[in-house]
Structure 1
């Protein structure tokens, strides 16, 4: 078994991506973004968000470096754009715009944007995945180890969002609104930090 899987590498991938993607931290954001959905729609959104995040991260992990180089885009630029997009979402959470039941639901699938990306498949997760792929020496065991670590992170995300409805019932309407405001504030802080880190990286590479 140890010949097929590098336990240390798989654990490192899991822990790194788990901390960055933060499954427990997605619960209040997921509740806020899906507050007007039925339980069935929320379950479908959880599944779609995980699949979208998996596709985006895998795509960037395998072809991201070539794509960014071809388009002359730096990693800090990718990070800054993700931060700005998250800041817009945070403002909507803080103002309650996303909770308005009269808001049109057909234009944007929140499972794809902003849940799938950039909340789950954000700049941090994308860059981390790209770095792990660059470390793979081509052996099957390394690829399997990275895949296993990545799979369990996705499973953790799905479980957290799949049972978010139970948490919503416990919190009630007032509790959900409170969590939404707190989530918006925290998300705004995360977004500002992403932009600040990107600016620092730009200055250091200038």
Structure 2
């Protein structure tokens, strides 16, 4: 029983660090700026649900899907990094609010649900943990760890509404610029790691 608890803890801590629920707060506030409280609550629930669904799908069928399509993990990581870079540029230039308002895009699906939350890092980490599963107990521990992380993720976004009441819209604009800068750095790092992985595969 102790080994299953250790496996659960390893899954939870690893995914928590990668997904970084506290770090999603500025991004969530930026992407839902100008929305009503009800819409923000709905978006938080949808984003966490979409992320959980994507992670679960890749845990069950990810390796088979990538093998079938001939896609490597570094290629998936590079694509996610480029998409994140586009989002970061919108946050830095202040265009995200205009884009969301004009197109009525559900940001809970893209870019919040994926690739911000269920990104290449979380997907790859989950697929690695799946390979380590040895028996039903490990499978339950893995599933519990994934669900627990996404529950914390939902709580973080759900109660980020309290932060809005404190910092107000002007604060959200400032946070958006900071979030865009940090997200662009994350995106560039993802692409750099992916390129390094592609080079190693070709070597």
Which residue matches 1:110? 107
Other structure's SS at 2:102 match: coil
Question: Aligned residue for 1:196?
Answer: 192
The residue that corresponds to 1:120 in the other structure is: 117
Find the counterpart in structure 1 of residue 151 from structure 2: 155
Alpha-carbon contact 1:79-1:123 (below 8 Å) kept: yes
| Residue deviations 1:29-50 (CA, integer Å, cap 9, x gap) | 0000000210000000000001
Report how far residue 102 of structure 1 moved. Answer: 8.1
Structure 1 equivalent of residue 127 of structure 2 = 130
TM-score, normalised on structure 1? Answer: 0.95
Distance 1:99 1:16 in 2: 32
Q: How does 1:23-172 map to 2 (within 5 A)?
A: 23-100=21-98, 103-106=101-104, 108-137=105-134, 139-172=135-168
Q: Which runs of 4+ in 1 moved over 3 A?
A: none
CA contact (8 A) 1:36 1:101 kept: no
Residues 18-76 of structure 1, C-alpha deviations (whole Å, 9 max, x = no match): 00000000000000000021000000000000110011111111111011011110000
Q: CA deviation at 1:101?
A: 8.1
Partner SS state of residue 101, structure 2: coil
**In the alignment, which residue of structure 1 is the partner of 2:173?**
177
SS of 1:85 mapped into structure 2: helix
Matches of 1:28 and 1:11 in 2, distance apart?
27
Count, aligned residues: 202
What is the alpha-carbon root mean square deviation over aligned residues? 1.4
Q: CA contact under 8 A between 1:50 and 1:116: conserved in structure 2?
A: yes
SS at match of 2:128: helix
For 1:52 and 1:170, locate their aligned partners in 2 and report how far apart those are by CA, in whole Å: 28
Q: Give the superposition deviation at 1:152.
A: 1.1
**C-alpha distance in structure 1 between counterparts of 2:101 and 2:32, whole Å:** 12
Structure with the larger helix share: 2
State the alpha-carbon separation in 2 of the partners of residues 102 and 78 from structure 1.
Answer: 26
Q: Gaps spanning 5+ residues in structure 2: where?
A: none
Unmatched 5+ stretches in structure 1: none
Structure-2 separation of matches of 1:9 and 1:27: 28
Q: Distance in 2 between matches of 1:63 and 1:102?
A: 32
Checking the alignment, whether the CA contact within 8 Å between 2:33 and 2:169 is kept in structure 1 is no
Q: For residue 43 of structure 1, give the secondary structure of its aligned residue in structure 2.
A: helix
Q: How far off its partner does 1:13 sit?
A: 0.2
